[in-house]
Amino acid sequence: MKILSPADKKKNTVCNLIMFAALIAVLIYIDATSLSVDMIVKVLQKGCVYAIVVVSMNLLNGFTGLFSLGQAGFMLIGAYMYSVFSVDNASREMVYSFSGKPVINFQLPIIVAIILAGLAAALFSFLIGLPVLKLKSDYLAIATLGFAEILRTIIQWDKFGRVTNGSFPISQLNTFKARLADTAFAKMSFVIPFFIVAVICIGIITLMIHSTYGRAFKAIRDDEVAAEAMGINLAKHKMISFVTSSFFAGIGGALYAVFVGSTNAAPFTSALTYEILLIVVIGGIGSITGSILASFLYIASQEWWLRGLDSGTFMGITSPIFRNGFRLVVFSVIIMIFVLFFRNGIMGDREFSSLGIYRAIKNLPGKIAGKFKKSKAEVQE
């Protein structure tokens, strides 16, 4: 983290204000034109959920250098912990009708349930971390992946049906929607709670990365042996990073359950972990703002911008090859291009700042002029 000079600080504040104003303007414009508001709301909500999980994975993989693939498992715990305590009282019997009398007969406030979800994931990650964190790189990855798969099987076991509803989904969850539907900005306001949770979570992770712990994490990532020689307790710091990351993955999982409105073990497979890892890398390993940016872009292009490829017409072109599934083919090709040609991701390990953009724009004419000069010089040679 660079320390800004007072003049830069002032500029930075101004730039931040301009960006913020621009964002608000876009939101108002969207609200006014109501250009597929439902889709935007969905994208922003899912983007918030993914941003939390992606940043939590970046803390582990990008800042601590622990290659762990257990994120989906911790999301699963979070989602279930939240769901079990949030089934609507009136319809609980109906939801559990295949599994017998539910064990948990009460409903907790959303925030309490979400925090509980994070704590449950953290507890599990502590237990898993005890044996697993001694392993190195790829072995750690496959062991955490294995734990995630084991958790998935255990949660679907019908003997736990009275708590987890076996392999049936837990539906009729308590969500933010009912309470906020009548406020101003009607539909856009669905996003606000997601946004608040995401900001809090990512804020805490950022603070952590800038603390002494964060510096210790980076030291471990850069060279384990050297870090140990400098007096950093490897086991302790790895565990802190692992548990924190899982805590926020758990919260992300809970928020995912809020977003979908029901919980089922099916989406939390290793494919989900791969997807999250993909977003981490697209955003740039070791860049928090990159992760956030990448999650929103990823979700928006997956769910929204390429939608036309499935339904037959895309950017005014109609073609018979645009049928169901083509969107994902194009999407994965885009990802491959990204992975092959932008190997450091959108942000590399730098952070996004509005000052940086201002400078880039300011320097742009100079750069273009420089290019021209260079080509002229080459011609003369």
Partner 1 sequence: MDYLLAGISVGGQYALIAIGYTMVYGILRLINFAHGDIFMVAGLIMVYATTAMPLYLSIPFVLLVTVIIGVTIERVAYKPLRSAPRMSVMISAIGVSYTLQNIALYATGGLAKVYPTIPFLSNTVKIFGATTKWVTVITPVLTIALVLGLVAIIKFTKIGIAMRAVSKDFETSQLMGVKINRVISMTFVIGSFLAAVGSILYFSNYPSVVPTSGSMPGLKSFVAAVFGGIGSIPGAVVGAFIIGICENLIRAVSIGGVSLTPFSDAFTFALLIVILCVKPSGLFGEKVTDKV
- Minimum distance from residue 23 beta carbon to partner 1 (Å): 30
How many CA atoms does the CB half-sphere of 313 hold within 13 Å? 1
The reply on whether position 328 binds partner 1 by CB under 8 A is: yes
Question: Considering only residues 154, 235, 317, 360, which one is a binding residue for partner 1 as defined by CB under 8 A?
Answer: 154
Instruction: Name the residue type at position 333.
Output: V
- Minimum distance from residue 125 beta carbon to partner 1 (Å): 14
Query: Which residue, 146 or 308, has its beta carbon nearer to partner 1?
Result: 146
- Minimum distance from residue 200 beta carbon to partner 1 (Å): 29
Footprint of partner 1 on 31-90 (CB under 8 A): 67
324 backbone φψ class: left, alpha, beta (φ>0; ψ -120 to 50)? beta
Instruction: Name the residue type at position 201.
Output: C
Give every CB contact of residue 125 below 8 A, 6+ residues apart in sequence. 70, 74, 242, 243, 245, 246, 247
The reply on whether position 266 binds partner 1 by CB under 8 A is: no
172 backbone φψ class: left, alpha, beta (φ>0; ψ -120 to 50)? left
- Minimum distance from residue 157 beta carbon to partner 1 (Å): 6
The reply on whether position 142 binds partner 1 by CB under 8 A is: yes
Stretch that binds partner 1, among 32-40, 188-196, 336-344, 362-370 (CB under 8 A): 336-344
Helix (H) or strand (E) holding 314: strand 313-314
Question: Considering only residues 57, 115, 117, 141, which one is a binding residue for partner 1 as defined by CB under 8 A?
Answer: 141
143 with 132: CB under 8 angstroms? Answer: yes
DSSP 3: P
Query: Which residue, 331 or 352, has its beta carbon nearer to partner 1?
Result: 331
77 with 120: CB under 8 angstroms? Answer: yes
The reply on whether position 270 binds partner 1 by CB under 8 A is: yes
The whole-angstrom separation of Cα 357 and Cα 346 is 13
**Residues near partner 1 (CB under 8 A):** 67, 131-132, 134-136, 138-139, 141-143, 145-147, 149-150, 153-154, 156-159, 224-226, 269-271, 274-275, 277-278, 281, 285, 323-326, 328-329, 331-333, 335-336, 339-340, 343
